[in-house]
Amino acid sequence: MTQPSGRYNLMELMVCVASRQLEDGRTAVIGTGMPLAAAMLAQKTTAPHLVVMFEAGSAAPELVKLPISVADSYTLTRAILHSSMDEIMESCQRGMVDYTFLGGAQIDMYGNLNTTMIGTDYEQPKVRLPGSGGANDLASFCWKTLVITPHDKRRFVERLDFLTTPGYLTGPGAREQAGLPPGGGPYKVITTLALMGYDPLTKRMIVESLHPGVTKQDVIDNTGFEMLFVDPLPVTREPTEEELRILREEVDPEGVIIGK
């Protein structure tokens, strides 16, 4: 695997790729870090009418500066709603939220996530992780779940040590059998190696494009399960000069997310 072009780094590439997944006029519950940078970039480029919502209770603020958390005062600037987590989660339950971004210590081929523990003994795990927070609710009731994560075998596993957040569970029809709304579920996974989606028939993760300099073997070597690939397999579109300018000058001028 070669390094990205000298024009940009991996963080910038991932943020740009993530921003392109968000459609104009849609709603999205956004967490901090790369998802927030991606949402801000989308608003300033291809999705000016994207409605950003925060778990702490804000909806549709004017994001004049990159917030450092979902409860940062910058998530409230000229927002149409200053409320609580109850209002945001109720909006998800009512089917009003299109996108959410999540992460996790482990993800499997069906997009299920583990943010609870590493190990086989719940009472005495090797590592105790932060837990679900609102992730289970968001993945259950938002229509499309996106994940941004590094790509290695420790994260992309055949079997989760603990199922915290549902993806497609065990495959086609499993979400609906569990009582979750039909039509929702995992949507995209943006990693340091590739952009993945999900096969509509099997619900398994499938590589939709390889990042510049990445080979198919790189993905195979860094994935703990059999990954599917589209054919032909394209290369991820690189960030444009305008995307990079906005990202560096307007979204994250201090380099908190993308680095300096």
How do beta strands 81-82 and 58-59 pair?
Answer: antiparallel
Angle at 32 between CA 30 and CA 37, to 5 degrees: 80
Distances in Å between the Cα of 186 and the Cα atoms of 64, 183, 216 are: 30, 10, 22
User: Rounded CA gap, 259 and 224, in Å?
Assistant: 29
Catalytic residue among 55, 87, 238, 250: 55
H and E: helices and strands count for the chain: 7, 14
Nearest Cα residue to 198 out of 225, 220, 164, 229:
229
User: Rounded CA gap, 207 and 9, in Å?
Assistant: 21
Q: Kindly provide the residue ranges of all beta strands, DSSP E only, lying in 200-258, ordered along the sequence.
A: 205-210, 228-229
Residue 55 is among the residues annotated as catalytic for this protein:
yes
Write out the two tokens for 192.
Answer: 């340091």
User: Rounded CA gap, 126 and 25, in Å?
Assistant: 43
Catalytic residues: 55
